[in-house]
Chains A and B, each alone.
Chain A
Amino acid sequence: EIVMTQSPATLSVSPGERATLSCRASQSVSSNLAWYQQKPGQAPRLLIYGASTRATGIPARFSGSGSGTEFTLTISSLQSEDFAVYYCQQYNIWPLTFGGGTKVEIK
């Protein structure tokens, strides 16, 4: 199976600052990469699919980039509602696999 590795595990950022989250695949997943946001007590929400396409209703401050094995999620200016855990996931082949998550916390 494809192993997804996210870094860092925790990211401390001040409101208004930029956050950069990384995700690495153990083998190429082409652009079949998604990012999800999960807040405490809530189900995950799709943010990005196809490595760089924002899902419906996702603000423009969220952007995704990369292909193959290296991917990045950037939040350009963190808002209070953005503090959460973020997961990457590959859907290039089954079994689908998720990264371990990056927690974005308030600095």
Chain B
Amino acid sequence: EVQLVESGGGLVQPGRSLRLSCAASGFTFDDYAMHWVRQAPGKGLEWVSGINWNSDSIGYADSVKGRFTISRDDAKNSLYLQMNSLRAEDTALYYCAKDGGSGDYIDALDIWGQGTMVTVSS
């Protein structure tokens, strides 16, 4: 079964850091790009960051550029999001999502985890 399981969320004070993890199983992880998408309470979906299959193409939303860093460890079938200088507006449910395209081809997000909640508050 193809599965993505996020972890690492929690309550954090403004200005502090948090690292999210996503454990993948059921598919050849290193063949696919991966993404982080977030959803603030009661709001829509916002793409946060993506990384291609070999980590040589990485993108970020303007809202997190310079503060968040995406990475992957193919040996551990894991995706990460290092979040620094957190703000109240970063409060959201963070989803890990698998890209449907293999290699350098970017496609729709075909598999999603259940998300991990990040709350930034003093």
Which positions in A face B, CB cutoff 8 Å? 1, 34, 36, 38, 43-46, 49-50, 55, 87, 89, 91, 94-101
Given known A-B contacts A43-B95, A98-B46, A91 and B108 have beta carbons under 8 A apart: yes
By size class, the interface of chain B is: 20 to 34
Which positions in B face A, CB cutoff 8 Å? 35, 37, 44-47, 50, 59-62, 95, 100, 106-110, 112-115
Q: Which of the residues B35, B47, B107, B114 comes within 8 Å of A43, measured between beta carbons?
A: B114
In the complex the two chains form, is B45's CB within 8 Å of A44's CB? yes
In the complex the two chains form, is B114's CB within 8 Å of A94's CB? no
Q: Which of the residues B62, B107, B113 comes within 8 Å of A91, measured between beta carbons?
A: B107
Please name 12 pairs of A and B residues whose Cβ atoms are closer than 8 Å in the assembled complex, sorted by A: A43-B115, A44-B45, A44-B95, A44-B109, A44-B112, A46-B109, A46-B110, A50-B108, A94-B50, A94-B59, A95-B62, A98-B45
What's the nearest-Cβ distance from chain A to residue B56, in Å?
A: 13
- Which secondary structure dominates where chain A touches chain B? loop
Nearest chain B residue, comparing its CB with the CB of A42: B114
Nearest chain B residue, comparing its CB with the CB of A49: B108
Nearest chain B residue, comparing its CB with the CB of A92: B106
Nearest chain A residue, comparing its CB with the CB of B4: A43
- Cα A71 to Cα B108 with chains together (Å): 15
Nearest chain B residue, comparing its CB with the CB of A33: B108
Residues of A within 8 A of B108 (CB): 34, 46, 49-50, 55, 89, 91
Residues of B within 8 A of A36 (CB): 45, 109
Q: Which of the residues A43, A46, A97, A98 comes within 8 Å of B100, measured between beta carbons?
A: A46
What's the nearest-Cβ distance from chain A to residue B112, in Å?
A: 4
List 7 A-B pairs, minimum CB-CB distance, nearest first: A34-B108, A94-B59, A49-B108, A43-B112, A96-B47, A98-B45, A101-B44
What's the nearest-Cβ distance from chain B to residue A15, in Å?
A: 25
- Cα A48 to Cα B61 with chains together (Å): 23
Centre residue among A94, A96, A99 by max chain B CB count within 10 A: A96
